[in-house]
């Protein structure tokens, strides 16, 4: 605040000392001693100056002319995102831009003058500026500041205790003294205020973007001709993220911050430690965030040599910037679009029929079970209370939990096998209603015990026996079922943990490790000490308690397809170098396949579960018999979960499927929530969607011998 200091000095009283005639006749001894001391000091000063100028003049001349070095970094363009076919989904729009580099001694007045000159030379569209921005711009002019400073009273300049306010505090008071008329700018001055705001955001020797909006080749030429007058303002080529996506996959990509936004607070510490600058543009959400360190370009580093006054004497480029690496997805956009259309068409049909008037939507994930590569991800989100408008969001299948019903019974059987309550050779149980604590729970086909049947693993799956699953849970408690029995309360936590552990090996109830942030575990809240927990434990066994996402169901289907190995799902297949022409270069790193877990049962036992899935589709008594209509030979487990919402009794209609059954290359997890019971409408839509997705896969890939 040098300006404030000079103003204060100019306002000091210029009083004169008045001479008093002394009437003493002699000078006191003490005064003679004082004069002698002053004389000695003057002699010492003269000797020192003589030493500096005559004897050591070269040293001080060197110090006066000494310089310092400062490094400046400028960002490079970000890498691009390609689909599986090499089509650019997210790239960069390279634009001419106007930038400002601040040296070590640029004043506010100089920046204001440069901003006004720039807006006189070229057309600048003013961005967002606040009332405070206008006041700062107004006060950057020395004359304006002196005028406003003159309005300050002595009270304005002092604190409550009478002490003088700091320069910064007085400036804040001056800001408030600027009148509305003084900042009633015309459009050109508003543009200049915007330019000044951007310039003033730069630290010493830092470059900032002023604007890249509608800068023409003619503008670039004019600025170049006047660069010497513009005090650090010049032109450059800058980039802006550009999306070519026309379907719902967009949210999977995430977004990139602006320079003004810089690094978000939750990433700040991590990225600063990696050498980022606070105003770097970085990925937020989705793949942009997960693969940030690959996509981020390498900044150029320039060394500035400056004198003691902060003037730049020379520049040396230490590191040349490099565009970031690119990523290639596992998703073929043509297939993604077809799946999205299939889901949308069938969902609209279900809404029109009345079956889905209370539904919140459908989620589906298609993946390669042998690698974890996600081939499609589609989510439809509908608010039944808001006119039923439908939004598409490919993130939903990783973030929305839906009650799965019988789809997960393969995992329950695996837990029974893993914990030795049944074996591959001995797994026969009688389907019967389970009555405990005065509550009856039963299979859909045997609600009252008149259709009791002897079942094994295979038939329990294709007939979808709830009773079989509950009896496995009871055996894990250390008991055999008998009507009206009291279940073993003391073992409840152990059995819960056993079920959860096995389910987790299939990817259920955990984060699967998919390569985007904020994946849900989707599980329902519960209290293990509540009176209802034993009933919850039985519900857990047949899919009527915990919620799961479509991604988790697809991961579960994939794990059964592989014979018990779960591969971590991923949207990106590899990291690639970026060519100057915008094309993919050589692959730098392959993403996946990565083993996430293995189910702890024997191959023989797993084959029984696989046979149960196959019979669900191919046995005349199977719950998924409609899935035989596909061009792909499927194995699957369907599931119907009961729920209530909007005062209605509804069902979720879900599928976990893979194909071909004998040598799987594709798996699907589909969750269709909130269907009505009317006329059995709910029973077909999920199967129709899966059939059509499998047919699209067959036509695009399997029929051509392609395994994506």
Element (H, E) at 94: strand 88-101
In whole angstroms, give the CA distance from residue 262 to residue 400. Answer: 30
Largest CA distance in the chain: 138
* CA distance readout (Å), 383 to 175, 358, 553: 49, 8, 23
Alpha helix (H) residue ranges in 231-390:
250-253, 265-273, 286-290, 292-295, 333-353
Residue (of 659, 662, 639, 461) closest to 553 by Cα position: 639
Residue (of 234, 250, 547, 210) closest to 405 by Cα position: 547
* CA distance readout (Å), 151 to 148, 173, 179: 5, 10, 11
* CA distance readout (Å), 124 to 112, 188, 512, 544: 15, 8, 49, 61
What does the block give as tokens for 255? Answer: 């977004």
Residue-by-residue DSSP string for 548-559: B-HHHHHHHHHH
What does the block give as tokens for 258? Answer: 């602006």
* CA distance readout (Å), 351 to 358, 387, 390, 417: 8, 12, 11, 41
Q: Give all strands of the β-sheet with 390-392 in edge-to-edge order.
A: 390-392, 374-382, 361-367, 666-675, 648-659, 635-645
Residue 314 annotated to the active site: no
Residue-by-residue DSSP string for 136-151: HHHHTSHHHHHHHHTT
In whole angstroms, give the CA distance from residue 543 to residue 642. Answer: 10
Catalytic residue of the set 406, 555, 558, 687: 406
Sign for the pseudo-dihedral over CA of 639, 642, 645, 650: positive
In whole angstroms, give the CA distance from residue 446 to residue 450. Answer: 7
Sign for the pseudo-dihedral over CA of 606, 607, 610, 611: negative
In whole angstroms, give the CA distance from residue 627 to residue 688. Answer: 8
Residue with tokens 């409840």: 492
Cα distance between the two ends of the chain: 66
Contacts 24+ apart (CB under 8 A), 248-251: 248/340, 248/378, 248/379, 248/392, 248/393, 248/394, 249/89, 249/331, 249/333, 249/336, 249/377, 249/394, 250/394, 251/285, 251/286, 251/393, 251/394, 251/395
Determine how many CB atoms are found less than 10 A away from the CB of residue 282. Answer: 22
- Partner residues linked to 675 by β-bridges: 651
* CA distance readout (Å), 628 to 186, 632, 660, 687, 705: 72, 8, 12, 9, 21
User: Phi, psi (5° rounding) for residue 373?
Assistant: -65, 125
What does the block give as tokens for 125? Answer: 């569209």
In whole angstroms, give the CA distance from residue 482 to residue 262. Answer: 65
In whole angstroms, give the CA distance from residue 76 to residue 80. Answer: 13
In whole angstroms, give the CA distance from residue 81 to residue 574. Answer: 11
Residue (of 637, 635, 644) closest to 675 by Cα position: 644
Q: Which residues are catalytic?
A: 406
């Amino acid at each position: 605040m040098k300006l404030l200091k000079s103003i204060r000095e100019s306002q000091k009283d210029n009083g004169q000392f008045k001479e008093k005639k002394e009437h003493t006749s002699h000078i006191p001894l003490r005064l003679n001693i004082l004069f002698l001391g002053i004389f000695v000091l003057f002699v010492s000063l003269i000797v020192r100056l003589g030493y500096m100028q005559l004897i050591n003049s070269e040293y001080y001349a060197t110090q006066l002319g000494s310089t310092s070095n400062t490094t400046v970094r400028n960002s490079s363009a970000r890498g691009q995102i390609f689909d599986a076919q090499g089509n650019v989904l997210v790239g960069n729009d390279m634009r001419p831009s106007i930038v400002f580099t601040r040296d070590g001694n640029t004043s506010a007045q100089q920046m204001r003058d440069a901003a006004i000159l720039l807006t006189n030379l070229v057309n600048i569209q003013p961005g967002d500026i606040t009332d405070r921005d206008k006041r700062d711009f107004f006060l950057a002019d020395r004359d304006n500041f002196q005028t406003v400073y003159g309005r300050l009273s002595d009270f304005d300049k002092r604190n409550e205790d009478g002490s003088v306010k700091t320069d910064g505090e007085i400036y804040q008071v001056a800001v408030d003294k600027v009148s509305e008329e003084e900042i009633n700018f015309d459009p050109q001055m508003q543009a200049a205020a915007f330019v000044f705001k951007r310039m003033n955001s730069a630290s010493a020797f830092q470059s900032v973007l002023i604007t890249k909006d509608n800068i023409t080749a003619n503008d670039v030429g004019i600025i170049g001709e006047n660069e010497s007058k513009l005090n650090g303002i010049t032109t450059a080529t800058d980039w802006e993220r550009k999306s070519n996506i026309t379907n719902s996959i967009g949210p999977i990509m995430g977004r990139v911050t602006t320079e003004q936004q810089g690094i978000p607070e939750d990433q700040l510490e991590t990225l600063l430690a990696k050498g980022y600058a606070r105003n770097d543009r970085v990925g937020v959400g989705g793949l942009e965030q997960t693969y940030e360190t690959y996509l981020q370009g390498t900044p150029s580093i320039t060394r500035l040599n400056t004198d003691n006054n902060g003037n730049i004497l020379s520049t040396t480029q230490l590191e040349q910037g490099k565009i970031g690496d690119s990523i290639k997805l596992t998703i073929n956009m043509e297939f993604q679009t077809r799946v999205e259309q299939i889901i949308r068409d069938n969902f609209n049909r279900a809404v029109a029929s009345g079956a889905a008037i209370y539904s919140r939507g459908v989620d589906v994930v298609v993946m390669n079970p042998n690698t974890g590569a996600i081939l499609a991800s589609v989510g439809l989100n509908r608010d039944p209370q808001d006119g039923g408008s439908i939004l598409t969001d490919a993130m939903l299948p990783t973030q929305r939990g839906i009650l799965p019903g019988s789809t997960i019974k393969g995992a329950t059987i695996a837990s029974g096998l893993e914990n030795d309550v049944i074996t591959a050779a001995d797994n026969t149980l009688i389907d019967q209603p389970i009555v405990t604590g005065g509550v009856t729970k039963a299979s859909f086909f045997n609600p009252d015990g008149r259709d009791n049947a002897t079942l094994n693993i295979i038939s329990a799956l294709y007939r979808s026996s709830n009773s079989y699953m509950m009896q496995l849970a009871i055996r894990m408690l250390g008991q055999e079922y008998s009507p009206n029995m009291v279940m073993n309360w003391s073992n409840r936590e152990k059995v819960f943990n056993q079920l959860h552990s096995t389910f987790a090996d299939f990817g259920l109830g955990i984060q699967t490790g998919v390569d985007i942030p904020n994946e849900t575990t989707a599980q329902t809240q519960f209290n293990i000490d509540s009176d209802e927990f034993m009933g919850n434990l039985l519900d857990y066994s047949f899919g009527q308690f915990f919620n799961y996402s479509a991604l988790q169901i697809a991961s579960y289907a994939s794990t059964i397809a592989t014979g018990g190995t779960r591969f971590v799902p991923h949207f990106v297949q590899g990291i690639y170098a970026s060519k100057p022409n915008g094309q993919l270069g050589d692959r730098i790193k392959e993403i996946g396949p990565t083993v996430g877990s293995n189910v702890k049962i024997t191959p023989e036992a797993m084959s029984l579960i696989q046979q149960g899935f196959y019979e669900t589709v191919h046995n005349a008594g199977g719950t998924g018999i409609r899935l035989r209509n596909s061009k792909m030979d499927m194995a699957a487990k369907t599931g119907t979960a009961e729920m209530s919402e909007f005062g209605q009794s509804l069902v979720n209609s879900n599928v976990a499927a893979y194909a071909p059954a004998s040598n799987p290359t594709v798996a699907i997890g589909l969750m269709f929530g909130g269907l009505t019971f009317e006329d059995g409408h709910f029973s077909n839509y999920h199967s129709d969607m899966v059939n059509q997705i499998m047919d699209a896969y067959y036509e695009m890939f399997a029929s051509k011998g392609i395994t994506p």
